[in-house]
């Protein structure tokens, strides 16, 4: 079944499940955290681990009911952290911004007075050799956001903005699955990304540079012979070269930027 993580809203009366993840920790979840939340939770978590060493499993479960290891974020902190991360995403990962905005908007719409956002990542921590190693990875991700260091981001993957972005909508609450940005991300999961090709970029740039020469040649032929067959053929081919090479250059530039943005350290 894998190591699952859960994101839900909690108020004094009930819990409201929103998203879950399997063997991943979505970046958008981290984006609404801050160092204080992490530090407070890790201290509680460490205390729990020390407690389990000297108590029975039943006692440990009772302890966990009173001292949760969840990352808990109140509404004000959620809004503040989301705003901070939005600036980072807009600058470095603009293709994910619409999905992030809808993710935040959806959660905001479900918040209730005295409620909190809860993130349960206990199972996911099992991928790490120690709690401290897990903590350091999360702190590094928040540092990368705060210091605008996109190359150091580890948890956001361009080819799967569900598993690494929002998480999957909870099976008992499929409202967000109807939002167009989520549907688009779901449809594009694991689709192959066009890799950057330096050779293709150079060839297409050369074509664009040569095209004006053919344009000038076509003009000279036109002034001399008018609209004859060769003027029409060469002029038509010249237009096709422009239409082919310019979009190809744009695609290569986008592929280069994506590869640079999502490059892991």
Give how far Cα 124 sits from Cα of 9, 21, 129, 130, Å.
19, 9, 11, 12
Give the C-alpha separation, 122 to 245, whole Å.
Answer: 51
Q: Are residues 90 and 175 in the same domain?
A: yes
Q: Is residue 224 part of a domain?
A: yes
Q: Is residue 183 part of a domain?
A: yes
| 0.85 surpassed by pTM | no
Residue 177 has pLDDT above 90, yes or no: yes
168 CB-near residues (< 8 Å, 6+ apart): 19, 20, 21, 22, 162
Q: Are residues 139 and 26 in the same domain?
A: yes
The arithmetic mean of pLDDT across residues 194-217, rounded, is 77
Structural domain boundaries enclosing 235: 198-261
Q: Is residue 193 part of a domain?
A: no
pLDDT confidence tier of residue 257, bands split at 50, 70 and 90: low
Q: Is 67 helix (H, G, I), strand (E, B) or coil?
A: coil
Q: Are residues 67 and 145 in the same domain?
A: yes
Virtual CA dihedral for 149, 150, 154, 160, nearest 10 degrees?
160
Q: Is residue 128 part of a domain?
A: yes
Q: Are residues 170 and 135 in the same domain?
A: yes
Give the C-alpha separation, 109 to 44, whole Å.
Answer: 30
State residue 265's pLDDT score. Answer: 36
Q: Is residue 228 part of a domain?
A: yes
pLDDT confidence tier of residue 213, bands split at 50, 70 and 90: confident
Q: Are residues 76 and 207 in the same domain?
A: no
Q: Are residues 91 and 159 in the same domain?
A: yes
Q: Which residue shows structure tokens 């569900």?
A: 162
State residue 238's pLDDT score. Answer: 75
Residue 262 has pLDDT above 50, yes or no: no
> Closest Cα to residue 35, out of 129, 145, 128?
145
Q: Are residues 72 and 129 in the same domain?
A: yes
The arithmetic mean of pLDDT across residues 46-58, rounded, is 72
Q: Are residues 173 and 214 in the same domain?
A: no
Q: Are residues 87 and 204 in the same domain?
A: no
pLDDT per residue as tens digits for the range 75-124: 999 999 999 999 999 999 999 999 999 999 999 999 988 899 999 998 89
Segments of the chain assigned E as strands: 4-10, 15-22, 71-74, 116-120, 168-169
- Token pair of 171, please? 């099976």
Domain boundary (137, 160, 187) is at 187
Q: Are residues 124 and 209 in the same domain?
A: no
pLDDT mean across residues, the chain: 84
The arithmetic mean of pLDDT across residues 210-220, rounded, is 80
121: how many CB neighbours lie within 10 A of its CB? 23
pLDDT confidence tier of residue 235, bands split at 50, 70 and 90: confident
Q: Out of 12-21, 177-186, 256-265, give the one with best mean pLDDT.
A: 177-186
Q: Is residue 192 part of a domain?
A: no
Domain boundary (131, 163, 187) is at 187
State residue 222's pLDDT score. Answer: 80
Q: Is residue 121 part of a domain?
A: yes
Q: Is residue 160 part of a domain?
A: yes
The arithmetic mean of pLDDT across residues 239-251, rounded, is 79
State residue 5's pLDDT score. Answer: 93
Q: Bigger pLDDT: 173 or 142?
A: 142
> Domain count of the chain?
2
């Amino acid at each position: 079944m894998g190591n699952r993580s859960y994101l839900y809203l909690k108020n004094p009366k009930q819990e409201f499940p929103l998203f879950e993840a399997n063997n991943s920790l979505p970046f958008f979840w981290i984006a609404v955290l801050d160092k204080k939340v992490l530090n407070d939770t890790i201290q509680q978590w460490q205390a729990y681990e020390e407690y389990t060493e000297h108590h029975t499993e039943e006692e440990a479960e009772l302890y966990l009911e009173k001292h949760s290891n969840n990352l808990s974020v109140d509404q004000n902190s959620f809004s503040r952290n989301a705003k901070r991360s939005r600036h980072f995403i807009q600058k470095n990962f603009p293709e994910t911004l619409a999905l992030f905005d809808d993710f935040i908007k959806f959660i905001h719409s479900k918040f209730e007075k005295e409620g909190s956002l809860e993130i349960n990542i206990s199972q996911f921590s099992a991928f790490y050799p120690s709690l401290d190693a897990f903590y350091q990875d999360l702190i590094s991700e928040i540092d990368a956001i705060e210091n605008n260091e996109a190359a150091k981001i580890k948890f956001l993957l361009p080819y799967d903005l569900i598993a690494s972005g929002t998480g999957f909508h909870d099976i008992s609450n499929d409202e967000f699955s109807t939002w167009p940005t989520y549907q688009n991300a779901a449809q594009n999961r694991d689709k192959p990304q066009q890799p950057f090709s330096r050779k293709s970029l150079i060839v297409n740039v050369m074509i664009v540079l040569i095209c004006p020469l053919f344009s000038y040649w076509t003009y000279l032929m036109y002034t001399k012979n008018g609209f004859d067959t060769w003027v029409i053929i060469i002029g038509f081919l010249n237009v096709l070269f422009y239409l082919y090479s310019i979009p190809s250059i744009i695609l290569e530039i986008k592929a280069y930027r994506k590869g640079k943005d999502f490059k892991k350290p």
